[in-house]
Amino acid sequence: MAEGELKPAAMQVEAAEAASKPRFRMPVDSDNKATEFWIFSFARPHMSAFHLSWFSFFCCFLSTFAAPPLLPLIRDTLGLTATDIGSAGIASVSGAVFARVAMGTACDLVGPRLASASIILLTTPAVYCFAIIDSPSSFLLVRFFTGFSLASFVSTQFWMSSMFSSPKVGLANGVAGGWGNLGGGAVQLIMPLVFEAIGKIGSTPFTAWRVAFFIPGLLQTVSAIAVLAFGQDMPDGNYRKLHKSGDMHKDSFGNVLRHAVTNYRAWILALTYGYSFGVELAVDNIIAQYFYDRFGVKLSTAGFIAASFGMANIISRPGGGLMSDWLSSRFGMRGRLWGLWVVQTIGGVLCVVLGAVDYSFGTSVAVMILFSLFVQAACGLTFGIVPFVSRRSLGLISGMTGGGGNVGAVLTQLIFFHGSKYKTETGIKYMGLMIIACTLPITLIYFPQWGGMFVGPRPGATADDYYNREWTAHEREKGFNTASVRFAENSVREGGRSGSQSKHTTVPVESSPADV
């Protein structure tokens, strides 16, 4: 009788243990990160996080660059000078420099869900304030505060790096970032169309462009609510739950900061990203006005041309991420580094050419499209490398890299497109030369366990050693480095084909690591 009573109890324990195991619709690795990328799926938590992240970033990009397509109208209404316009363009991307670094730290400490939703909601009022601006100074201020929302890019990349395994992290980061950046192209079409639609129902131009800003403001609000309602920080749950259960170590700001700022690879990637994404931001601010003023095209035509630059993100940045993963499968981390250097350098050459062909409208459009493909692909290639720089400080290093993009945009606009020191076409040529020069430091990046562009790996160096050095012996004894160890195991193919032949475990669909 006693034995019969024990059996149901044992079965209950087994059932409770089975119920506690994480279950996923997608194949995952030993760290519960997805090993496949189902782009049209909303499978929780991996693909739902993907769609929430890119859409929220898309809405932030839409808001930040909603002004440039309507700039000729805003300029005439507010009496803006070339210096006013240049200063506002710089303001729109300068605020996000520090916001992105702060966002990276927030992702490390509280998770990407709360960090992303918070910055989006905090910056939404600035978008609505476009409707009431009445002076150059107020125009500059709303562009400055709206630009803080671009920090959501960091949470997007952090979120993808937390949800997808190393063979797919470049693709996931590339598609999420690329589709988010589409907002910079889509807004060039959306805002003129919204303005025209409002005008057709009887509004004056003075009122119509102001009302038009309620559309990006509303979209930004909805995206933040969706992130809070449907998002999840990690495959196993939200940070708060994982910290409370003891499944995740609650780190300190000091440790996160120290391991980020002392890693030279992070600073190099921040510099190079300043002349891929930073250039993209600068072009988003100037390109519509450049074609409008230089070739005398209509506002809607200039908007369409400018949109084609941003809309290239639908394939270019994801293509860069996919290329990074493909190069890794063949040549490891060294392939990722070579790919970034080659693609970004070609982008710099095309930028120089774009500034040199200002005599031809058709040629300028064609070169601009080619330039957009390469410079945006370089962004995707960059964030194919970032997740491997550090595990303990992944968020902050993502923020440093993203902030570097904004620093590059600020410096580029300040030096080449502020005031009347250079003609726009001359500034574009010099910008291309800066891209080429600032891409060279990639040759200095070296991972002891995988090598660099010109030097192979150090004999005996392992990924375990590289990531475990971020933890003290006491922390390792307590198991705080468990996630770093699992990541090292799952990044084995970064050593190239020979490394990828090592044992690698993938958990099947509808299973969990405990079942393997």
pLDDT of residue 82: 81
234 secondary structure, DSSP code? B
What is the b/e burial string over 220-232, where b = at least 16 CB atoms within 10 angstroms of the residue's CB? bbebbebbbeebb
Rounded average pLDDT over 161-182 = 88
pLDDT of residue 23: 74
Contact 217, 59 (CB under 8 A): no
Is the predicted pLDDT of residue 438 greater than 90, yes or no? yes
Rounded average pLDDT over 140-152 = 91
Question: Lowest-confidence range among 81-95, 117-131, 390-404?
Answer: 81-95
pLDDT level of residue 508 (50, 70, 90 thresholds): very low
Contact 266, 272 (CB under 8 A): no
Alpha-carbon gap, residue 395 to 416, rounded angstroms:
31
Question: Lowest-confidence range among 12-26, 197-211, 480-494?
Answer: 12-26
pLDDT level of residue 515 (50, 70, 90 thresholds): very low
Alpha-carbon gap, residue 308 to 365, rounded angstroms:
9
pLDDT of residue 497: 65
Question: Lowest-confidence range among 68-77, 134-143, 427-436, 441-450?
Answer: 68-77
The DSSP-derived string for 267-328 is HHHHHHHHTTHHHHHHHHHHHHHHHHHHH---HHHHHHHHHHHHHGGGTHHHHHHHHHHHHH
Highest mean pLDDT: which range of 3-7, 20-24, 383-387, 437-441: 437-441
Is the predicted pLDDT of residue 426 greater than 70, yes or no? yes
Rounded average pLDDT over 227-250 = 86
Rounded average pLDDT over 3-29 = 56
Cross-strand partners of 446: 452
Question: Lowest-confidence range among 215-219, 422-426, 511-515?
Answer: 511-515
Region at 37 (left for phi over 0; alpha for psi -120 to 50; beta for the rest): beta
Percent of the chain with pLDDT over 70: 91
pLDDT of residue 215: 92
pLDDT of residue 202: 82
Interior CA angle at 124 toward 123 and 127, to 5°? 100
Is the predicted pLDDT of residue 500 greater than 70, yes or no? no
Is the predicted pLDDT of residue 345 greater than 90, yes or no? yes
Determine if the pTM surpasses 0.95.
Answer: no
Q: What is the mean pLDDT of the chain?
A: 85
Is the predicted pLDDT of residue 175 greater than 50, yes or no? yes
pLDDT of residue 509: 44
CATH T-level assignment (fold) for domain 264-496? Growth Hormone; Chain: A; (1.20.1250)
Cross-strand partners of 507: 28
Is the predicted pLDDT of residue 343 greater than 90, yes or no? yes
Which tokens is 374 given? Answer: 């390469």
pLDDT of residue 97: 81
Percent of the chain with pLDDT over 90: 39
Count the Cβ atoms, other than its own, within 10 Å of residue 302: 26
Alpha-carbon gap, residue 268 to 270, rounded angstroms:
5
Question: Lowest-confidence range among 15-24, 104-113, 402-411, 497-506?
Answer: 497-506
Question: Lowest-confidence range among 240-254, 333-347, 491-505?
Answer: 491-505
pLDDT level of residue 12 (50, 70, 90 thresholds): very low
Higher-pLDDT residue of 348, 80: 348
Contact 335, 445 (CB under 8 A): no
CATH T-level assignment (fold) for domain 36-245? Growth Hormone; Chain: A; (1.20.1250)
Rounded average pLDDT over 104-113 = 89
pLDDT of residue 373: 93
What is the b/e burial string over 180-199, where b = at least 16 CB atoms within 10 angstroms of the residue's CB? bbbbbbbbbbbbbebbeebb
Is the predicted pLDDT of residue 3 greater than 50, yes or no? no
Residues of the chain with CATH 1.20.1250.20: 36-245, 264-496
The CA-atom distances, in angstroms, between 295 and each of 45, 290, 292, 327, 355 are: 49, 8, 6, 41, 14
pLDDT of residue 420: 65
Which tokens is 145 given? Answer: 């505060």
pLDDT of residue 18: 44
Residues 6+ apart with CB under 8 A from 283: 309, 372
Distance of CA 440 to the CA centre of its chain: 22
Q: If DSSP codes are grouped into helix, strand and coil, which group holds residue 446?
A: strand
The DSSP-derived string for 469-484 is TTS-HHHHHTTTTHHH
Is the predicted pLDDT of residue 498 greater than 60, yes or no? no
pLDDT level of residue 14 (50, 70, 90 thresholds): very low
